[in-house]
Structures are given as structure tokens and as C-alpha cells.
Amino acid sequence: MDEFYQEISSCVKSPLDRNNIQPIILELQALYYIVRIKELTDFIDDHVSQLASYDSKTLSSALTDHSMAVLKNALNGRYCKEQRRMFNDVKELRLYAEELVNQYPVVLSTTFSARTAVPDMVYDYLIMDEASQVSIETGALALTCAKNAVIVGDTLQLPNVVTDEVKLKMDSIFKEYKVMEGTTVLSTAFFSLSVQLCQTSSKSCSESTTAVIQKSSTFAISASMVGIC
């Protein structure tokens, strides 16, 4: 690099004339960009070489293991001394709803059961995966039981299947209650509507927050996470 700078310095051809310094200024400006491009090119080449030496699968696996260790440690510190109640049916969930929330950090459910299983429950966060396959009515139902929501889906995925029987029932309900066109289960997918709402809504409208994440690649919940729930 030092040799490169010496070579650049020797390239200045314009004489230093205090009465007319414009030529040398233009020449120095041009040389500056040559040097800067060289620096950036070397910087990029160094990082490309460094990234090429990494094993992405090994690093991803290590990150997953470390993240899981941190999560388990936090959960162990909070719940290890408590005797957790075992629930045998939905009736017990409703009867001991407060214990459910206090003793179980993660609750797995369908969008429909999230509201119906324990009607008065309000969770801190609702994480809705495969939201592209969720219908508007059950998706909206699930959102009513959470302070914050993370909705994960893919707008390029086919929406949920609506049977002819459901279409007839829904059409009757929409006409009776004069539901606006464009917000019905027959014409709009829940995830697409969620994206539109998040793009147009203002943070000042509510203390609750909703994040919509569009999948760039296929992923699924780790099987080891199920044991924590």
C-alpha cells in the first residue's frame, strides 16, 4: 500500500503556482478518488476472502445452540423452583388461566383456539406463523388476545382454501352486516391485509405493536422448542 501511495504522489504533474492553483486542485481531486476506490476495493476483497473461509452451516448451528442455551438458562432461573400444574382439558385451562400464564412461558395454539380456549386471556406476544394460510376471521380473532403481534407469512403463497359452504355462509353474514368489500374472507387474504394495515397505520394509534415479516426462505420451528412449551 505504501508503494501505491508513493506512486500516486509521483503522478502529480501540475506545477504549484500560487497565482493559479486550480489545475493542481483538480488533479488532486482526481487522485483522491483513485486512492479511495483502491482502498474500498481492498476492503471488499478482504471481507470477501474472510466470508469465504466461514462455514455457514457450522456458524448457524452454533448460533442456534447458543441461543437455545441462553433461553433455557433464563427459563430455568425463572421456573425451576415452581411446581407446574398439568392441564388435562380445556375446562381446566379456563379454570386455572392465571396459573397457565404464570407457569408456562410459551403456549401453542391454533388461531381459533387462542381466543376460544381461554376467552379472557391476554398474552404479551402473539407469534403467528404460516399467516398466509390463515383466514381473516380466525386471524382477527387471535389478534384480540394479545398486546403485541408478530405475523410471519409469504404473500406469494396460496391463501387458505375457502369451501363453497363457507362462502355461502360468509356471503350471507357480509350482506347482513354490510361488511366493506376488500376486507372479506372471500376476496382478501389475512396476511396480505396485515401487510397493508402495517404499511398505512401510525404508531400513535395504539400502544400495541404489530410486526409483519415476509418470509424470504422456508423455515420452521425447531423441534427442541416444543419441549419448552
Instruction: Render pLDDT for 85-122 as a digit per residue (tens, 0 to 9).
Output: 888 888 888 888 888 888 888 888 888 888 888 888 88
CA proximity to 157, closest of 198, 225, 214, 200? 214
Report the pLDDT value the prediction gives residue 217, as an integer from 0 to 100: 45
Cell of 14: 501540475
Question: Quick check: 179 pLDDT over 80?
Answer: no
Report the pLDDT value the prediction gives residue 70, as an integer from 0 to 100: 93
Report the pLDDT value the prediction gives residue 206, as an integer from 0 to 100: 47
| Straight-line distance from the first to the last Cα atom of the chain, in angstroms, rounded to the nearest whole number | 57
Report the pLDDT value the prediction gives residue 22, as an integer from 0 to 100: 81
Q: What share of the chain is helix, strand, coil (3-state, %, to 5)?
A: 55, 10, 35
Report the pLDDT value the prediction gives residue 107, as an integer from 0 to 100: 87
Contact 127, 143 (CB under 8 A): no
Residue 87 DSSP label? P
Say which residues have a Cβ less than 8 Å from residue 127's Cβ, sequence separation at least 6.
Answer: 149, 150, 152
Residue 44, H or E segment: helix 22-52
Q: What is the DSSP string of 159-206?
A: -----HHHHHHHHHHHHHHTPPTTSSTTT--HHHHHHHHHHH--GGG-
Q: Give mean pLDDT, residues 144-160.
A: 83
Query: How confident is the model over 188-203, as pLDDT tens digits?
Result: 667 776 777 676 654 4
